[in-house]
Amino acid sequence: MSDYFDLHTNGIGYVSRLREVKPRNGKPFWAVSISALTGRKAAGDEEQSYVKFDCRIVGEEALRRLRVVEKEIPERAVLVGFRIGDIYPEAYEYERDGQSHQGLVIKGRLLKIAFIKVDGKDIPFADEEKAEPEKTSDPTPVAEQDFRPFEWLEKNAVKTRNHWVVKLQKEDDRFDEKRAFLKEQGFFFDRKTLSWRREAEGMAHVH
């Protein structure tokens, strides 16, 4: 039995800012930011939101798995299943428009990465590839395997006078994933028109 009390947070979220930190006094370490999804999964519920974590990566396997998609993180939607330990809030100060403000971030230690999806496509891990039996055929349609959120958004977003508008059907097999992606891109659900909208002013592209 461990001599310590464990505080673990499990969930899924989008990763960003994978970087190596080199402090002046101390050993270099890797860190990553995670925007974790929270709220009900039920189709039609628009109450999902994000909780942001800034994590020091302590799990060696977690770091190896994130390094595999390191180049994709800045440009593509990288969704992961994660386990974070020992979370705590940390206040910080920043300046905006010449004024000092105080912000709050949740810190933690990234222990585990359970899965990774890039633009909706599963990224296999080397150890799992060896353990999996050979597959003679894959019934999943090619279009579903190669789902790319930004390309889907460009094809389906319609520009009106003031907004980009996207229609998303509940029957869509990727409804939850697409809805989470739209929220991350700044879209909001308009109950009157049953569509997703984002202000178009000053935007040349939907992303």
Does the pLDDT value for residue 49 go beyond 80?
yes
- pLDDT tens figures, 9-33: 999 999 999 999 998 888 999 999 9
Domain ranges of the chain: 1-132, 136-207
Which pLDDT score is estimated for 48?
Answer: 76
Question: 1-132: which CATH architecture?
Answer: Beta Barrel (2.40)
Contact partners, residue 145, CB within 8 Å, separation at least 6: 121, 138
- pLDDT tens figures, 99-123: 888 888 899 999 999 999 999 999 9
- Comparing 190 with 65, the larger pLDDT belongs to 65
pTM, rounded to two decimals: 0.58
Q: How confident is the model at residue 185 (pLDDT cuts 50, 70, 90)?
A: confident
- Comparing 19 with 186, the larger pLDDT belongs to 19
Average pLDDT of span 77-88: 94
The count of other CB atoms within 10 Å of the CB of residue 116 is 21
Which pLDDT score is estimated for 2?
Answer: 61
The count of other CB atoms within 10 Å of the CB of residue 19 is 13
How is 70-100 classified by DSSP, letter by letter? TTTTTTS-EEEEEEEEEEEEEEEEEEETTEE
**In 3D, which of 160, 166, 151, 168 has the Cα closest to residue 200?**
160
